[in-house]
Amino acid sequence: MGLGCMKSVHLAAFPASMVAVSAYLAKAYPSWIQIQVNNEGHEVRVMEDLEPFTRDQIMNPVNIIKQKMPQGALQGLDSLSAIFQQFFVGASHLQNQQQEQVQDQNVLYGLAGKISKGGLLQSRIYNDLVKNLGLSLHQELKNKADEQATRDSDEGVRFRVFLSLQNYTSGMWLLLYNAHKAYKLAPDEFITSCCRRNIVGNPFILKDKQVNADMRQQTMVCTCAGPNRTQLRVDPFGIHILQCPNFGTPTRVHDTLVHMCVILLRTLGLAVSLEPIGLFDNVNADDNRRPDILIHNPYGEGQRVILDVAVTGVVGRSRCSDEDVDQPMRIRFNQKKAKYDHIARANGLTFIPAIFSHTGQIHDTIKGWMFNQIKMKMELHDPQVQSDKIKSVMRYWTGQLSAVINKTASRAILAVAANLVDKVNSTPPTASSSDQCEDIMDANQENAQRFMEDMELLVLNQDHTQSNLRSEG
């Protein structure tokens, strides 16, 4: 995963390595490459006709790179002299100005790397190539989605999920090499997580063609939309499973995430109550609203803070535009504000909606609040604390939240997928021709279920017994 795209690495490596050793090449082959110092600095000159084979070796990948990214780092560089001059000297002010960008909040929080003005040639070329691959994949998925009759098609779902994964927090769970044992993934959970991350079919979810027509309506079509609306299918990626109330998955992911937020806040020394009761009795004695979290002593705040967590889907009807990846979270944010903001202010409380998505997105409001709480806590102990330490804690928090969402979602998908398989297995055909089977071997009886559950242990016992027999023989 660290190497990324091997083709892009290979393309960028050769010309970049030649530029990197150009000073040594000038000493070893002075007739081919010369580096001179004049009033304007260093000047690199390559006698390309002296070594046509070497020239072609270098220019071959250069031309491929320019073809893939015409506006990239090699734009307008048509000779070895120009390439070596541009990147060996590294004094192109225009190139630096073109790469200057405003650092966004994710950089300030430590969730994204700093944007380099110059950087190594290989890194810049590689970033250009990977960006081009992303754009190509974006267009390919969009074209496939546009060809479908409805937005709820598998290709439409894949395209919207792909767009919602393009952020700095969705894949943070992949970086938790030393994760707590509670977040370590079993093999099936890891496969399911990778299928969600790469938006490919989950092998544990039944496909339409694997279920006969009579059973398909009962298993693969969900009634959560209501009787008078278009019924939704269980897609092969498990996305519908995550946001369907019939399966209970949204509640499971929400509750697990709330508990993780409480644990993280308590590590800062905050007094945190989980689902406080009667919080708004001062205004209305019959008010039974229960926000998820109450923080009694937030840093830098004169008032107590309440958080209400929501985990939104990314392919629902609230997302009117495929390209507007934050729209579901914005809508949920506004719904939470309308529900709690007025009553919170009437009780002298500060309300902050904590909005996440199933793909691991985190709303900017809660992200900024978490960062400030971490920062103020660490500055309280050490006023001269380095910003990198604060960012490190923020990355850890984000990774933990990402891991909780990912593992809980993957386990929920596996549980529902197993239930669908059981539903198909337990539904007898309308007319069975094998009605003379003895009860103890009936495939639809409890004995068969216990046999399947004990299969793994039986296989282990068999191998152990056979190995003992061989050793005795």
Look at the block and give the residue holding tokens 């919170």: 344
Is the domain of 213 the same as that of 353? yes
What are φ and ψ of residue 222, in 5° steps? -100, 145
Cα–Cα distance for residue pair 157/240, rounded to 1 Å = 9
Least confident of 156-170, 310-324, 442-456: 442-456
> Where is average pLDDT lowest: 217-221, 394-398, 399-403?
217-221
Q: How confident is the model at residue 439 (pLDDT cuts 50, 70, 90)?
A: low
Q: What's the whole-number mean pLDDT along residues 210-234?
A: 70
85-89, 192-196, 256-260, 345-349: least confident range: 85-89
Where does the pLDDT of residue 102 fall: very low under 50, low under 70, confident under 90, or very high at 90 and above?
very low
Q: Is residue 280 part of a domain?
A: yes
In 3-state terms, what secondary structure has residue 145? helix
Q: Is residue 274 part of a domain?
A: yes
Q: Is residue 361 part of a domain?
A: yes
Residues 391, 288 share a domain: yes
pLDDT at site 3: 47
Q: What is the largest CA-CA distance in the chain?
A: 100
Point out which residues pair with 306 in neighbouring strands.
294, 351
Instruction: Classify residue 414: in a domain, yes or no.
Output: no
Helices and strands per DSSP (H, E), number in the chain: 17, 8
Residues 390 and 449 in one domain: no
- Of 79-83, 122-126, 283-287, 330-334, the poorest mean pLDDT is in 283-287
Whether residues 109 and 253 fall in one domain:
no
Are 308 and 210 in the same domain? yes
User: Of the residues 387, 409, 431, which one is the last residue of a structural domain?
Assistant: 409
Query: 106 in a domain, yes or no?
Result: yes
What letter represents residue 207's amino acid? K
Instruction: Count how many domains the chain has.
Output: 3
Query: What is the average per-residue pLDDT within 408-425?
Result: 87
- Over 70: is that where the pLDDT of 108 sits? yes
Q: Are 362 and 371 in contact (CB under 8 A)?
A: no
- d(CA 151, CA 143) in angstroms, rounded, equals 12
Tell me the pLDDT band of 118, cut-offs 50, 70 and 90.
very low
17, 18, 24, 27 alpha-carbon torsion, rounded to 10°: 180
Q: What is the mean pLDDT of residues 445-472?
A: 64
Domain residues for 448? 443-472
299 burial class (0-12, 13-18, 19+ CB within 10 angstroms)?
middle
Last residue within a domain, chosen from 116, 138, 160: 138
Is residue 148 a part of any domain in this protein? no
- For residue 33, the surrounding DSSP H or E stretch is strand 33-38
Share of the chain above pLDDT 70, in %: 77
Q: Is the pLDDT of residue 90 over 60?
A: no
Q: How confident is the model at residue 132 (pLDDT cuts 50, 70, 90)?
A: confident
The whole-number average pLDDT for the span 253-261 is 93
55 and 101 part of one domain? yes
Helices (H), 271-386: 327-346, 364-381
Quickly state the pLDDT bin for 101 (edges 50, 70, 90): very low
Give pLDDT, residue 46: 81
Is 324 part of a structural domain of the chain? Answer: yes
How far apart, in Å, are the Cα atoms of 82 and each of 23, 50, 75, 77?
15, 17, 11, 6
Which of 9-18, 277-286, 452-461 has the lowest average pLDDT?
452-461
Determine, yes or no, domain membership for 242.
yes
Co-location of 125 and 185 in the same domain: no
Q: Closest Cα to residue 308, out of 293, 324, 322? A: 293
* CA-closest candidate to residue 429, choices 213, 130, 228, 186: 213
